[in-house]
Amino acid sequence: MILVLVETDATGAVEVSRETLTFARDLSAAGGGVPIDAVVVGALPCPVADLAAQLASYGVRDVHHATGDAFGAYGGAAWASAVQSVRASVGSVVVTAAGTPRGMEVLAHLAARLDVTMAANVVAFDGLAPFTVTRQVVGGAALEDMVLGERPAIFTVAGHAVEATTAATPGEGRVVTTAPEVAAADLVARVVSAEPAQEDLSGGLKSARVVVGAGRGAGSADGFGDLLELVDLLDGALGVSRVVTSLGWRPHHEQVGQTGSRISPDLYVACGISGAIQHWAGCASAKTILAINTDPDAPMVAKAHYAVIGDLHEVVPAINEEIRRRRPA
Amino acid sequence: MSLDVLVCVKRVVDSTGEVVLTEDGQSADGRYAGFTLSNHEECAIELAVQTATAAGGSASVLTLGEPEAVDQLRSALAVGCTAATHIGADPGAFGPADVAREIAAVIRDHEGSGRPHDLVLLGNDAADTGDFQVGIRLAHELGRPVVNGAATIAVEDGHVVAGVKGPEGRETYRVPLPAVVTVLEGGVEPRYPTVPGRMKAKKVEIEQRTPSTEPAGPNRRRLRLPPPQPSEVQVLGKGADAAAAVVDLFEQLGVVAR
């Protein structure tokens, strides 16, 4: 049995969790159709029945809902305790989660307490005997083939490793409510307060349909006026490279890349960005990339679908003007 | 209270340029690219120094790696750490559980010799292997609480207060010391070493150790590079003259109304 830790928001399972369920389904098929169960922990921001129906459409058999005071506030060790309890009761041979901060944290706790290996950011499995996975390393610039010989096999799935698709044959989606006991030591590190903060702005960046990116080519902290106007005209979000945040031109929550946000917009307009590996790791999943750069040989230009060769300070105002010109009066 | 902060770092190949692998496919080749610390660890060092200074304590630094990893220890010493420990080993032979076990052995030894580390900081994940586990495994080894992905930390009343960017906003954790915290880039700007700082760092005697056990390894079969993607870029034009073609594309993609 494959057990998938599912993270939720008001719409049900978050997209990366649905991608992980899709990945798990491929694994299940390769293993002869072993069942897939989901585990969700704590108070849910959506009705559990709706969530179960959604997860069933992704092929989930049982949805184990771990409830109780221990899960009132998020804590990685407590969540791992819940996953461990469910795993023990259903006897799963694989435990997986999305490669989100929480997915990584919870499964790392689980792997540590079970003293087994964990593979982070898996993008494919290459064989079942022995169970071998391929994962992203060096910020996605290299791949590692890694053997997960122990049971349970524990791994997280990298965002956008697969596209989330529903199952040809839905699962049953039965809700199994459980109240696992949690040791006091696992409750020490928990969220004591949470507040929507400025950093929340990165949520807009991650969900924006269009992202206008800016790098060193912006020139200075004052060089973002035209870029922000383009953001506004495209109803998008601004994303920047690491050098921009390092220079203090823009705040870190706008950073796209290996140590910033990973985005997958319909359109990424990369302005004055050379395309270092670390930045590429954050924007490679964009469906269409337009690079605006003075250097025709810049990696970002070579990797983009479309390019304009030129200084962003000349090109972007002209684009803004053209958009305004074509707008109906 | 006087606070002792230990920050754990890793020498990694600088991957801002092209990544080249060693012939045996077991590691990234840094002979030409050079070596550095991960961004998260640079911030962890800064937080270690700031936190220790604020509490009237001291910050020390530790690494497991080849002899050249002493360079990274000296970088941390140059920006405010005052002691360093080097576990001499081939890091490629060590998986996350092995590394955590070795760090824990050093911490226990230091504790036994009257030098306890109240707070241990690590990068959230290493820039090369990206395992996301050493901090948590270390906390399990030591039986200490762990907070992951902290951007800010402060110590008050025997507790570490850590600010973490959660899925819905800023989250705060408050855990009793001794504790382990992994640090994510973004909450603090690493400082650059001064010339006097570098000179001082050269004089610090570095504690040399050998691994306490045989490593089980990272379960790696091999590293490989993704197949190169041929460029299929379509150049829409040069300079401001390309604006009309760009907006045509935007209309095609449906991101501006026709």
Query: For residues A46 and A71, is the Cβ–Cβ distance under 8 A?
Result: no
Contact B40 A117 (CB under 8 A): no
Which residue of chain A is at minimal alpha-carbon distance from B176?
A188
How confident is the model over B13-56, as pLDDT tens digits?
Answer: 988 777 889 888 888 888 888 899 999 999 999 999 999 999 99
- Chain A positions touching B15 (Cβ under 8 A) are 138-139, 141, 277-278
How buried is residue A304: exposed, middle or buried, by Cβ count under 10 Å (0-12/13-18/19+)?
buried
CA dist., res. A317 & res. A311, Å (int): 10
Q: Look at A142 and B226 and tell me if their CB atoms are within 8 Å.
A: yes
CB contact under 8 A, A137 and B223: yes
Give the amino acid at A9: D
In this predicted model, what pLDDT tens digit does every residue of B62-111 receive, in sequence order?
999 999 999 999 999 999 999 999 999 999 999 999 999 999 999 999 99
How deeply is B157 buried, as exposed, middle or buried, from its count of CB atoms within 10 A (0-12, 13-18, 19+)? exposed
In angstroms, the separation between the Cα of residue B203 and the nearest Cα of chain A is: 30
List of chain A residues whose C-beta atoms are within 8 Å of the C-beta of residue B236: 290, 306-308
Q: Does the predicted interface ipTM exceed a cut of 0.90? A: yes
Is A145–B165 a contact, with Cβ atoms under 8 angstroms apart? no
Binary contact (A112, B148; C-beta < 8 A): no
Best A121, A216, A306, A320 member to test B by mutation, with max B CBs in 10 Å, is A306
What are the backbone angles phi and psi of residue A138, rounded to the nearest 5°?
Answer: 50, 50
The residues, ordered by sequence, that sit 6+ positions from A246 with a Cβ below 8 Å of its Cβ are: B189
Would you give the DSSP letter of residue A129? T
Q: How far is B54 from chain A (nearest CA, A)?
A: 23
Contact A267 B172 (CB under 8 A): no
Confidence of residue A127 (pLDDT cuts 50, 70, 90): confident
pTM: 0.90
Q: Which residues of A touch B218 (CB under 8 A)?
A: 146
Nearest alpha-carbon partner for A176 in A75, A74, A54, A64: A64
Residue A197, pLDDT > 60, answer no
**What's the whole-number mean pLDDT along residues A135-161?**
92
Q: How far is CA A56 from CA A4, A8, A151, A264, A318, in A?
A: 13, 15, 26, 26, 49
Contact B171 A74 (CB under 8 A): yes
CA atoms within 13 A on the CB side of A320: 17
Q: How far is CA A40 from CA A8, A152, A176, B255, in A?
A: 8, 19, 10, 36
Tokens at B60, concatenated: 């020390």
Q: 10 Å Cβ neighbour count for B56?
A: 9
CA distance A85 to A281: 35
